[in-house]
Amino acid sequence: MIQFKNVSKIYRSGLNDYPVLRNVSINIEKGEYVLITGKSGSGKSTLLNILTGVDGATSGDVVVDGINILRFNEANMTKWRGENLGIVFQFFQLIPTLSVLENILLPMDLIDRIPNQNRVKKAKELLSMVGLSGHEGKMPSKLSGGEQQRVAIARSLANDVGLIIADEPTGNLDSKNAEIVFDILEKLNKDGKTILMITHERDVMKGASRKIIIKDGVIDEDYSLKGVS
Q: Half-sphere exposure of residue 149, counting CA atoms within 13 Å on the CB side?
A: 25
Residues in CB range of 203: below 8 A, 6 or more apart: none
pLDDT tens per residue, range 120-164? 999 999 999 899 999 999 999 999 988 998 999 999 999 989 999
3-state SS of the chain is: CEEEEEEEEEEEECCEEEEEEEEEEEEECCCCEEEEECCCCCCHHHHHHHHHCCCCCCEEEEEECCEEHHHCCHHHHHHHHHHHEEEECCCCCCCCCCCHHHHHHHHHHHHCCCCHHHHHHHHHHHHHHCCCCCCCCCCHHHCCHHHHHHHHHHHHCCCCCCEEEEECCCCCCCHHHHHHHHHHHHHHHHCCCEEEEECCCCCCCCCCCEEEEEECCEEEEEEECCCCC
Please state, in angstroms and rounded to a whole number, the distance separating the CA atoms of residues 21 and 30.
24
The domains of the chain, with CATH numbers, are: 2-224 (3.40.50.300)
User: Residues near 75 by Cβ (< 8 Å), separated by ≥ 6?
Assistant: none
> What's this model's pTM, rounded to 2 decimal places?
0.87
Q: How confident is the model at residue 176 (pLDDT cuts 50, 70, 90)?
A: confident
* pLDDT tens figures, 21-72: 999 999 999 999 999 998 888 999 899 999 999 899 999 999 999 999 999 9
